[in-house]
Structure 1
């Protein structure tokens, strides 16, 4: 999962830039709407809503924006109906790409996603064409700063809590769980006093595809084009990211 971990670290830095344009808030509002629509507006009885609210607060989303999205979903405010869709396809070099969508206009969004694929040397495929290459996992990112335990001792605590794997980098530990164990592991680690900087259910590639610099840049452009679409919530891929190349591309 090392390639996935590296990409998520880069993506978090990019997300900070996106937030300045309001795109993160827009996507979080849609997530809040769907979670509240499906499970109710009370985060105490709706774990999915509680998870999205945590993400929204971590992104410094204003409380009134959070409350407005929930009220729309529960009928307190007039709103629109969103539909969840996953599009799949391939980028340059055969890189597998999955795109999670939340839209109130399926036809418009399908056309936008298809255009992004074709414009950047990719092609949108049929449902199921790449999803089998990914596993759904819970991901908890824990800050290393101030952690008194050794890495080995911390790993034992993580395993005891029910997690299945852990990765490390200079700033954090990344803990992976099965989706049905995600809530339990998160709550246990919080009770033990660990600083969880982010938590999410995500898609992790089983294998990574390594490309040369030119083809990698084509995939970078495709990912950016997809993420810039208002209805796109998440983009997953199995590109083996070269962090220096991507930082150079962003600059």
Structure 2
């Protein structure tokens, strides 16, 4: 059952190298709005909303802001803002690296222009819908933290219909990532939460193949591209299929 999530490793490497900033209040608030709009406006009955609210609280967003975002998603709060739309963008970075971007926007033209500029300034190209998404699988991911008994993890993961897992044993993080079907994420999260400390549960695009990057110039531009995309308020998540390899 053991598996690997190289992109998660890349993001951890990148966080150390670039001191990557967390998501902005705007990004986290928009995730709450969409989650409330797509389901019921109750964290107990809406897993997507509950995870969005947990991330917002962890980032220090005030409760008033969270409640207002939930109300916007439920349609019970109107401040004249345009409705948010979920859009996926796809493109290529240097070295033929595939990049998948999930965005929430109230202005398609602005978002597309900002994303296109991020690609063009960093040696990449924004592509057509479907140009790289076939290289990714949409999965539910539960991130655990702390020391993990791998035998117990395997037992619980099998009981909860997980597909694979990866142990994380790094200087600044101990834990594991467990992968499952999108529809099974809440079930897996509940099972694991009874035995381990769950840091995060989310839907994520997982690359099914990787491009090894050994050139320092390509590495610089790829990491710069990731930063440029992630810094945009309209962008919620960025995934790419490169693996940094030290010479």
**Which TM-score applies when normalising by structure 1?**
0.87
SS state of the match for residue 197, structure 1?
strand
SS state of the match for residue 212, structure 2?
coil
Taking the aligned partners of 1:24 and 1:193, their CA distance within structure 2 comes to 31
Stretch deviating more after TM superposition (36-45 or 199-208) = 36-45
1:233 matched to 2:236: yes
Question: Could you tell me which of 182, 200, 216 is aligned with 2:219?
Answer: 216
User: How much is the aligned-residue C-alpha RMSD, in angstroms?
Assistant: 2.1
For 1:62, the equivalent position in structure 2 comes to: 62
Give the superposition deviation at 1:66: 0.8
1:189 matched to 2:192: yes
SS state of the match for residue 242, structure 2?
coil
Q: 1:76 to 1:179 in 2, by over 3 A?
A: same
1:38 matched to 2:41: no
Aligned residues between the structures: 237
1:173 matched to 2:172: no
SS state of the match for residue 193, structure 1?
coil
SS state of the match for residue 18, structure 1?
coil
**Structure 2 unpaired stretches of 5+:** none
**Which TM-score applies when normalising by structure 2?**
0.88
Higher normalized strand content (fraction of residues): 2
For 2:132, the equivalent position in structure 1 comes to: 130
Taking the aligned partners of 1:200 and 1:15, their CA distance within structure 2 comes to 23
SS state of the match for residue 37, structure 2?
helix
Deviation readout 1:203-232 (Å, 9 max, x if unpaired):
000011012221111111111111111111
Give the superposition deviation at 1:153: 3.4
1:82 matched to 2:84: yes
Give the superposition deviation at 1:76: 2.8
Check whether the contact 1:167–1:175 (CA below 8 A) recurs between aligned residues.
yes
Higher normalized helix content (fraction of residues): 1
Check whether the contact 1:139–1:176 (CA below 8 A) recurs between aligned residues.
yes
For 2:157, the equivalent position in structure 1 comes to: 158
Check whether the contact 1:134–1:205 (CA below 8 A) recurs between aligned residues.
yes
SS state of the match for residue 240, structure 1?
strand
Taking the aligned partners of 1:33 and 1:54, their CA distance within structure 2 comes to 14
Taking the aligned partners of 2:220 and 2:138, their CA distance within structure 1 comes to 26
Stretch deviating more after TM superposition (42-51 or 194-203) = 42-51
Stretch deviating more after TM superposition (10-19 or 47-56) = 10-19
For 1:50, the equivalent position in structure 2 comes to: 50
